[in-house]
Chains A and B, each alone.
Chain A
Amino acid sequence: MRHKIILAALLSFASLSSWAIDPFTVELYQTSCNICHGAGVGDAPKSFEPDAWAERLEKGKDVLLANAIGGFKGMPPLGMCSDCTQEDLVDLIDYMTVSKAQ
C-alpha cells in the first residue's frame, strides 16, 4: 500500500512537472540558455537530453547550481542570464536536464 502511494505521488509529480512548466522559464531558456545548450556549443551539454546531463547530475543539483551561479568552463556567471534569480536558475536546470515534455 505504501509503495502504491509513493508510486502514485511520483506519477502525479512527473505529470505535474510536465504540465507546470512556467512559460517564463521557457522564455528565459530561449533568451539565455538555448544559444549554447540548444546546439551544444563549446561542449555544453545539450538541453532535453538527460544522458548528456546524467554524469553531472550525479554530482548533485547543488553543484550544477553553483556552476551556473559562478560560471564554469565556457559558461559565464549566471549562465548568460544576468538578471536571473536563484529560483530562475533552479527552474532552468530542472527544465533543461529532462526530456522535453510533449
Chain B
Amino acid sequence: MDIKKFKLSRRHALKTAGMGFVTGIAGTTGCSSTPELSSGPQPINGILPWSNWSGNQVSYPAERARPRNLEGLVKLLKETNGKIRAVGAGHSFSGLVPTNETLLSMARFRGISNINTETKEVTAGAGTRLAALGDELWENDLGMINMPDINTQALAGAIATSTHGTGQKFGSLSKYVTGLTLVTASGEVMKCSATENKDVFDAARCNIGSLGIITDITMQMRDSYYLKERSEMLPIDEAFEKMEKLRLEKRHFEAYGLPHANHMLLIEFDEVTKEESDAMQGQAASGDAYQTFRTLADVIDTLPFLRGAVMSIAPRTVGVEERYGPWNKIFGNVRDMRFNEMEYTVPAEDGLACFREVLNTIKEKDIDIIFPIEYRYVAEDDIWLSQFYKRAGASISVHNFHDKPYLPYFAEMEAIFDRYQGRPHWGKVHNKTEAEFAALYPQWEAFKELRQRLDPERRFINEHLENFFPAIS
C-alpha cells in the first residue's frame, strides 16, 4: 500500500478538507499533546523485545544470532538445538517471526555476490534489502522484472512469502528465483534449482521460514528500464469499466478503492525511453500523507457522521498526476505511515466481483474505515505454497492504521475472500487453519512431508506455524 500515490502532499486536497473540519471542532485533534516517551514494548529483565514494523507482533528472544558467514551459520545450526526464527525487515503482520528462543539476523549476508552477464541472473545475499538490491542493479544497468511498491523488505523474507507487485504478466518475486542456497536444521548446505534438489526448490521459493535458513538467492533480472506512472481518480463505475482494459493494455496497473466513496484511484504504468523519462522527470510526491490521513481519521472519529461527506467530496479534487523515472525509483516509496494489513488473492477472473463486494460491504455494514483498499493482478507460478500456484490472481489488500482496531474489519473482509477461494498472503493477517490450507493448496501434503524431512526436530516451527504444521504423533 502506497498512500503517497494519492499525491496528497501536492494537492493537499484531503488535508484541506480534513483541516477545515478540525478547525470547526476547535482543537479536538490539532491541539492534542504528544507523549514524550514511547508506549511500545521495552526490555524485560535485560531482554530486548522484538517487534514487527506495525507493532502487532512482539516477542522476547532469549538469544540473537548474527552469523558472519556461511561457516558461522552452519556452526550455529550444528552446535545448538533450540528453535530458530530468521528475521528480515520485520514487515510481516502475521506471526511468522516471533520467538522466545533464537532470533537469527542475516544482516551479514547482504549485497550482490555474482552477476551472470549472459543470462542476466544475479545472486544476492538473503539479508539484502530490496531497495539496496535495486540500487546495485541500477548501477549495473540491470533491472528487476517486477517489484512491490514497498522496497524495505529483506530479499529472503520477500521470497519466503511470495511478495509481489502488480501486473497480469508478472509473477511474484519468488517466480523469478532460479537458484538458492538453503542450510537445513542439521547444518547441511543444499544448492537448489530447477535441476538440483528440485522438490526443495519448488517448496523453498515460498518457504515461510519453515524449511531452513536461506543464505543466497539467484534471480532472473533484465536490462534496466524507465517507467511512467499515471494516476487518475475516477467515478467508481467508470473505474470498474476501465480496469479490464488497463489490465490487458498497460505494463501493469493497480487500483485503490476508497471506502464510503464513489471514486477510485487508478494507477497505470508503462515503460518509456530514457529520453522521455529525463525530459519529464519531476519531483516525486513526498511528505505529509500520513498526517493528512491521520487528520481525516481523527475528524471522522470525532464526528463519524461526516465520514461519507469527507470521503465523497475530497477525492473529487484530486486530478491526473504523472511521474517518470528509473524503474527502482518509481517502484520504491518511502513508508512513513504504519498500518496493519490483510491480503487475499482470489482467482484473477473473480477479482473485480470480489473487489466490488468488498467496497459494497464496507458501505452496507457501515464499517468504520477510511483506508483505501488496494487491488492488483499477479501471474500464476508453480511454487507449492505460493498464493499464485497454478492460478493467476487478483490480490486485494485491506488496511487500518497501526493504532486503530483492525481485527473486526478484517474478519468481515476475510468472510468475503473465503467465498472466492482466496489464499492469504503468508506475511499478512489471516485466520486460516491447516485444513483450509490443505484445501487451498494441492501441494500442501508434499510441502509438509518435505518440511518434516528437512526439519525433523521442528527447529523452525514457532507458535504461529504450529497451527499449520502440528507435530506428527
Contacts and interface: CB of A to CB of B under 8 A. Distances in A.
B49 interface: yes
Contact of A77 (B34, B40, B105, B334): B40
Given A76-B54, A82-B50, A28 B38 contact: no
Contacts of A17: none
Given A27-B110, A42-B336, A76-B54, A83 B88 contact: yes
B129 A31 contact: yes
B64 A85 contact: yes
Contacts, number: 102
A35 B334 contact: yes
Given A31-B132, A59-B36, A80 B152 contact: yes
Nearest to A86: B48
B290 A42 contact: yes
Interface residues of A, number: 28
A85 B40 CA distance: 16
B55 A36 contact: no
Interface string B53-93: 11100100000101000000000000000000001111100
A51 B43 CA distance: 29
Interface residues of B, number: 45
A27 B105 CA distance: 14
B155 interface: no
Nearest to B289: A42
B38 to A, nearest CB: 3
A72 interface: yes
B336 A82 contact: no
9 contacts: A31-B110, A35-B131, A69-B49, A70-B49, A74-B336, A76-B338, A80-B89, A82-B97, A83-B87
Interface of A: 24, 27-28, 30-31, 35-36, 39, 41-42, 59, 63, 66-67, 69-74, 76-78, 80, 82-83, 85-86
